[in-house]
Amino acid sequence: MLGTAVFGMLPMDTGMALAASSATAPSGSSPVPALRGVADPVLEGGPQIGAKYAVVMEVGSGAVLYSKSATESCSPMSLTKLLTALLALEKLSVTDTLSFSYQAIHGIGTNVTRVGIVENERITVQDGLYAMLVASADEVAYALGEKMGGGKIKNFYTMMNERVQALGGVNSEFSSATGTGGAKQTSCAYDLGLVACALSQYPLFNKIASSSWYEIPVTNLKESRMLAQTHQFIRKTKKYEYATAGKSGGQAEDKTYSLCTYASREGMTVVAIVLGSPTSDSSYDDTVSIINYAFENYKAHAMKEIENAVNEDYSGLFDYCPMFDDGSGDLVYIDRNSTIVLPRGADPSTLTKTVEYNLPDEYVHGENIIGRVVYLYQGHRVGNAGILYNNPEYPMSQEEFDAVWPIFLVPPSMLPSLGGTGVVLDTSYLVPSITPTPEATPTPTPAEGDNPGGEIAPTPTTTPLPMPGTKAKTEDDTGFLAGWSIKAKARLLGGVIFGGLFLPCVIIIFIVLPRRHRRKNRVTKRL
């Protein structure tokens, strides 16, 4: 990537800690937590719980706030449906039709949860998501996987594993869309937490996972039916005031239970994954213990507040360069709506940050995420903000973008325009597809006989891209107006137009009309 190549050539004494990420993830998904062990919590310790595996993560940043054997292999059971839901939201339209094959009804094994759908019945994808997430319907999970796999469920298993890896998963091997019916697949609390963080970015998922009940409308084969939520905090059969959404995981073959729960307090939203609890009740008790621990020991801060506290040379990259302002019309800017999670009482000035670049293959209208600023506390990822490119008129091509981008990869103190010494960019390290366009050289006229067609190839020309804060010259630079500024030329044009309209009005009002009036008076007197 361009950012990786250029940053690799910067001096080591710039005070910047840089990390380039090659993992791709869709817009809105959580970044891949890294550094110091992927599942290490920001703070050590925490409550003792009966569950064998658990993790609590802040959904926006993926920061790990509590961990117990979070990367150890275990059965994900019905929490597998979280990954099936994520892929369905990414790849299907909610208005698509979901049809149920023989295999979806009869090939999902025993000891599964059903909602009474029959072979050849049809519902919408949205109704299917409600059935799968509210009532944990196994036949629906299978049908969704079959649809996304092009009619072949094994194709969907490949998609599942690729998606987890893209999110940063470390210990998963999926071979079932449902996770039940004797499925021999493995995952871990940390990987499921990554999936849950990505799901939280979808408003429809939050709505579905917070619903106590849902009614599937009349279908082609059956009357409407009512579905009940299986997560007891969401159905309100158990009380926990901070719970907002969730998915129950059911019972594994070893008679243990699992649970996924979202909770919000004081502007911070977390998700808890609990696996291997000895009883269903203890899975809820464990969830309350670790979520309360997170709320009592961490606090969410607005990114603006953190930016004011982080005093390092690198922070100016987004404070002083025109392309990295507050988003009020600039092409490239930082998303300042993010939150940073810190231990309560922690000094924000001790934060450091890295930049991860992930330039897209093609820019589209609207906001394009081209990278992230990642905030670190003692080596742990505690927050991030997207670096966004948005041109409301038309997207730049990759070639045009690369012609502007490198100058903003260096910290402000190094820019010659701000009194710095600058930095030499060795563009030989750039991959050909994103190398800035070289200046055109005149093409020599071919000698006679070199061009059988008799045509002379046109000389290639390039138009230099204006730098941020400047405008391309479109006026002729010759003539008596060559030294005039654009504003001066505009004033001259306005004066000419005003004079052309105002002068005739003066003549009509003060000369023509009075003469007509005097003539009329003379005629009247004669009569």
For 285-294, the pLDDT digits (tens) are 999 999 999 9
In a domain, 469, yes or no: no
Residue type, 368: N
Do 279 and 412 fall within a single domain? no
The confidence score (pLDDT) of residue 480 equals 53
The percent of residues above 70 in pLDDT, for the chain, comes to: 66
Roughly how many angstroms between the first and final C-alpha of the chain, as a whole number? 96
224 has pLDDT over 70: yes
What is the domain extent for residue 123?
53-298
Region 76-82: mean pLDDT is: 96
More confident residue, 496 or 56: 56
As given in the structure block, the two tokens for residue 230 are: 């299986």
Instruction: Count other C-beta atoms under 10 Å from residue 107's C-beta.
Output: 13
In a domain, 290, yes or no: yes
More confident residue, 421 or 128: 128
In a domain, 519, yes or no: no
295 has pLDDT over 60: yes
Do 260 and 382 fall within a single domain? no
Do 243 and 323 fall within a single domain? no
Do 113 and 219 fall within a single domain? yes
Domain boundary among 273, 298, 323: 298
Do 263 and 352 fall within a single domain? no
Span 366-399, pLDDT tens digits: 788 877 788 889 888 898 888 777 766 666 666 6
| Number of folded domains that form the chain | 2
33 has pLDDT over 70: no
In a domain, 468, yes or no: no
The confidence score (pLDDT) of residue 451 equals 41
171 has pLDDT over 70: yes
Contacts of 8 (CB under 8 A, 6+ apart): 429
Position 96 confidence tier, pLDDT thresholds 50, 70, 90: very high
The radius of gyration of the chain from alpha carbons, rounded to an integer in Å, stands at: 32
Residue 205 burial (C-beta neighbours within 10 Å; 0-12, 13-18, 19+): buried
The confidence score (pLDDT) of residue 500 equals 73
400 has pLDDT over 90: no
Region 249-275: mean pLDDT is: 95
Phi and psi angles of residue 454, each rounded to the nearest 5 degrees, phi first: 80, 5
CB burial of 229-242 (b: ≥16 within 10 Å; e: otherwise) equals bbbbbbbeebebeb
As given in the structure block, the two tokens for residue 127 are: 């109704």
Q: Which residue has the tokens 């709505």?
A: 207
The confidence score (pLDDT) of residue 136 equals 96
Distance between CA 216 and CA 223 in Å, rounded?
9
As given in the structure block, the two tokens for residue 83 are: 């990954």
Do 221 and 362 fall within a single domain? no
Report long-range pairs for 150-159 (Cβ below 8 Å, ≥24 apart).
Answer: 153/103, 153/177, 156/87, 159/87
Contact call for residues 2 and 25 (beta carbons, < 8 A): no
In a domain, 375, yes or no: yes
The confidence score (pLDDT) of residue 334 equals 73
The confidence score (pLDDT) of residue 205 equals 98
- DSSP conformational letter for 178: S
Do 232 and 180 fall within a single domain? yes
Distance between CA 260 and CA 229 in Å, rounded?
13
**Mean pLDDT for the chain?**
76
The confidence score (pLDDT) of residue 404 equals 58
Contact call for residues 101 and 134 (beta carbons, < 8 A): no
Region 297-303: mean pLDDT is: 89
Do 136 and 235 fall within a single domain? yes
Position 40 confidence tier, pLDDT thresholds 50, 70, 90: confident
The confidence score (pLDDT) of residue 476 equals 43
Least confident of 3-17, 96-110, 510-524: 3-17
Least confident of 148-157, 435-444, 479-488: 435-444
In a domain, 497, yes or no: no
The confidence score (pLDDT) of residue 315 equals 43
Domain boundary among 364, 395, 418: 418
Residue type, 130: Y
More confident residue, 129 or 9: 129
Span 309-356, pLDDT tens digits: 664 444 444 444 444 444 455 667 777 677 889 999 998 888 887 777
In a domain, 116, yes or no: yes
Q: 3-state DSSP call for residue 527?
A: coil
Do 287 and 185 fall within a single domain? yes
Length of the chain: 527
299, 271, 288: which is closest to 200 by C-alpha?
A: 271
